[in-house]
Structure 1
Amino acid sequence: MSDVMFGLLAETFLHPGSGQSDGAIDLKVAREAVTGYPYIPGSAVKGALRAAMCDGGGEHKEHVDAAFGQVDGAGSVLVSDARLLLLPVRSLTRAYLWLTCPLILERLRRDLERAGLKGGDVPTPQVKGGEVRTAVAGRIFLEDRLFEAVEPALPDAIVDLIGRLIADDGARGRLSDQLCIISNHDFRWFAENALPVQARNVLDPATKASNNLWYEESLPPDTLLYMTLTARGSADETGRTTVAGFVEGQKFLQFGGNETVGQGWVRAGRYPQPSPEGGR
């Protein structure tokens, strides 16, 4: 039986913290050490799912320990990292554009193959530095950098594949006009330098003077990530089926820090989502 994959579309700012500072930014997001791409570690995904199922109560709560494990034993469900797929970036061409790159698309293809899901046969397009493959012709500004749109434009198969990981009809409908594929090197620059940074403060209750000002990095709304759920080894698939059913039923989940200030909400959609009516 195939694994289960979910697309996670950020509805609010998302702060999967690393607990580390870097110069002027006190709290950076978690990043892969090699690529520099933001992600949500599998342990954080697993903890958030477990907490949500415990809070949800009902029939799901009794399966929590068996699915996620206890101190003296592993659970029956393997929870992956939530990997980055689309990064929203400011542009003069649109309100924003969604960026991805060949390495990320190759990873998605490999993850689909490993999960036993259809879509792993989609070819990975190649892009040179300074170029972009998109539906928008001509020159494109991303942040303050200039890119040149090249032919051939976006492959239909790539747009359809990514669209099946977006659980919102409106966002999915905009994908073909906003998706941009840039080189791996260019994407790393945006992943490291184009994330929002927000100031947070603690005020003295009497004087309202600042007691502690710090800066946090976040993933912006409309960031798209994805994760997989797998049954462990010879364990039966009840746990995975239960967790997947819970996620489908919730649709909205909270990941990362800053829950009390409204951050971390994602819209979860099981892969594959149905194609938009009439195709692309």
Structure 2
Amino acid sequence: MTTEIIGLLAETYIHPGTGQSAGAIDLPVARERVTQYPFIPGSSMKGALLDASRGNGLDTDRLFGQQENAGQLLVSDARLLLLPVRSLTSPYVWLTCPYLIERFRRDMERAGKGGALPKVTPLTDDKALAAGTTDLFLEERLFAVENKPPEELAAAIGTLIPHAEARARLSRQLAIVTDKAFAWFAQYALPVQARNVLDEEKKTSKNLWYEEALSPDTLMYFVLGERADGAAAKIATFLAERRYLQAGGNETVGQGWFAVRRVEGAAS
């Protein structure tokens, strides 16, 4: 049986909604129950893959199943790995933490693509691993830079990024903070967009609401498994040829587009 890893680099804002309000935000993003990290449920990813596969010569009933039969394809949640965060020292920083790196390592090993990813942890919640200056300003928070992230870590994460230019700058923009510090950014540093419905005659507001979203250049990934030989490889090959996938809400206003990359071989 084959297991595939598919990288997802956000090209637009992504809104994996929950349909429930949370305080001042009417439509928050979906979050993992325990960690509160944003994610896209596997059911949503499976639906996005099914929509993209229709009319492209694939046996969708066999791969994805029907109401009375399970399909051959196994689709995981899309997990967060790098979160773009505003910085005073660069346009933005790709932020991650030891726990997300550990999960990525475990998923790569499960897929048989797990090279020796280094284990890295900043000493305290006010320190970070990053390239460049001795101080790192993220949103309103200041971190003292201890060291640079290992080059082999940037290379392994780069296997998920479809664009060569983005992979080339990853080592300069990658930053690692503690799990606790990252949880703050995952909770409070996502963009919130105001949307409105206007009265057609008076041009006044009929319905104003606020939506949370993931920024462009957010890096996620998901795992494809199979119940029958060839199912995962067929979809992975299809995605590699297609190069883009729409997932999440607000498709009609241009949101939800990912550039995709199939991880080939072992991570370096």
Q: Establish whether TM, by shorter chain, passes 0.5.
A: yes
Q: Shift of the alpha carbon at 1:274?
A: 11
Unaligned 5+ runs, structure 2: none
Q: Map Cα deviations across residues 144-184 of structure 1 (whole Å, 9 max, x no partner).
A: 00000003x21111010001110001111110110000000
How many residue pairs get matched?
Answer: 267
Moved over 6 A (4+): none
| SS of alignment partner, residue 125 of structure 1 | coil
**What RMSD over aligned residues (CA atoms) do the two structures have, in Å?**
1.5
Say if 2:68 is the partner of 1:72: yes
Say if 2:152 is the partner of 1:189: no
Report what 1:53 is aligned to. Answer: 53
Q: Distance in 2 between matches of 1:25 and 1:58?
A: 38
Q: 2:199 is matched by which residue type in structure 1?
A: D
Report what 1:160 is aligned to. Answer: 155
Q: 1:207 is matched by which residue type in structure 2?
A: K
Contact preservation (8 Å) 1:165, 1:272: no
| SS of alignment partner, residue 57 of structure 2 | helix
Q: 1:81 is matched by which residue type in structure 2?
A: D
Say if 2:85 is the partner of 1:89: yes
Q: Distance in 1 between matches of 2:266 and 2:89?
A: 29
Contact preservation (8 Å) 1:133, 1:149: yes
Say if 2:171 is the partner of 1:148: no
Say if 2:200 is the partner of 1:205: yes
Residue 74 and residue 30 in structure 1: after superposition, are their counterparts in 2 closer, same or farther (change >3 A)? same
Contact preservation (8 Å) 1:40, 1:82: yes
Q: Shift of the alpha carbon at 1:118?
A: 3.1
Unaligned 5+ runs, structure 1: none
Contact preservation (8 Å) 1:3, 1:117: no
What percentage of aligned pairs have identical amino acids? 53
Say if 2:29 is the partner of 1:29: yes
Residue 274 and residue 135 in structure 1: after superposition, are their counterparts in 2 closer, same or farther (change >3 A)? farther
Report what 1:240 is aligned to. Answer: 232
Q: Distance in 2 between matches of 1:240 and 1:88?
A: 30
Q: Shift of the alpha carbon at 1:273?
A: 8.7
- Relative to structure 2, which stretch is displaced further, 129-138 or 36-45? 129-138
Q: Distance in 1 between matches of 2:209 and 2:96?
A: 30
Q: 1:255 is matched by which residue type in structure 2?
A: A
Contact preservation (8 Å) 1:247, 1:268: yes
